[in-house]
Amino acid sequence: MIPIYNFLKLYEGLIYILLAIGALFAFRWLWRSWRESQSAVYTMEREFSSRRLGQSAAISTLIVVLFCAEFFTATFIIPGLPSDIFLTTPTLDLISTPTGTLSAEMMTQFANFPPQTAIPNIVGCTPNKIMLTSPEAGDEVKGTVELIGTVNIPNFGFYKYEVAQAGSETWATISADRNTVTNGLIGRWNTTALTPGDYQLRLVVTDNQGEVLPACVVPVRIVPIQ
């Protein structure tokens, strides 16, 4: 049913327009059929006009029922559903990759970038709403890293965390989730497949209306496992 509700919500205006046009022709046909049935004199003429009147009445009734169904669904049913089911997001595709593990394609792409200098401090984080508290800016990380922080905003939709080399805007999504977190485990990041160097770790939150909030970016340095 969700795809149907999504269709009715997305094309609500167009559906009303099409139904209005259909109603215009149907009621016109109904009116003419009724006039003909009133003016019919002969038996065959009356039967023919009655048949046309019944068909036009059925079509008109169907259009009214469809209009009422669309209005009731769009006004009462859809607003009562969770808003995040109407989001068109890549969330499912994001978490199809093993948690904390980058794809081979993204690792190859990172390998082609020369080492950069790390961003000096945290950017865009909002305390108690969108925040990465561990690792901290400038921390050296290795192996599998637990990401600790907070993702708790009004009208929350989902969050994802990404990584890019320092100074680059080529972001690779590590994983995503639909649950709010308050000073807890946001996810895990396996750094072993990446070349040691300076990177940016980014936490991106989207609300249930599909609006992307400013990202929380923390610079870190990946070091080899000894």
Residue 204 β-bridge partners: 160
The model's pTM: 0.52
What was the pLDDT predicted at 107?
Answer: 57
Amino acid at 222: I
Beta carbons of 157 and 89 less than 8 angstroms apart: yes
Interval 204-219 mean pLDDT: 92
What was the pLDDT predicted at 217?
Answer: 94
3-state secondary structure of 112: coil
- Tokens 């485990």, located at residue: 185
What was the pLDDT predicted at 6?
Answer: 75
Cβ-based neighbour number of residue 151 at 10 Å: 23
The mean pLDDT of the chain is 82
Q: Which residues contact 68 (CB under 8 A, 6 or more apart)?
A: none
Largest separation between any pair of C-alpha atoms in the chain: 103
C-alpha span between 203 and 220 (Å, rounded):
13
Q: Is 128 left (phi over 0), alpha (psi -120 to 50) or beta?
A: left
In this prediction, residue 43 has a pLDDT band, given cuts at 50, 70 and 90, of confident
C-alpha span between 210 and 205 (Å, rounded):
10
144-191 tens-digit pLDDT: 999 999 999 999 999 999 999 988 888 999 999 999 999 999 999 999
C-alpha span between 7 and 73 (Å, rounded):
11
Query: Which backbone phi and psi does 138 adopt, to 5 degrees?
Result: 85, -5
Interval 5-29 mean pLDDT: 88
100-154 tens-digit pLDDT: 555 555 555 555 555 444 445 678 899 999 999 999 999 999 999 999 999 999 9
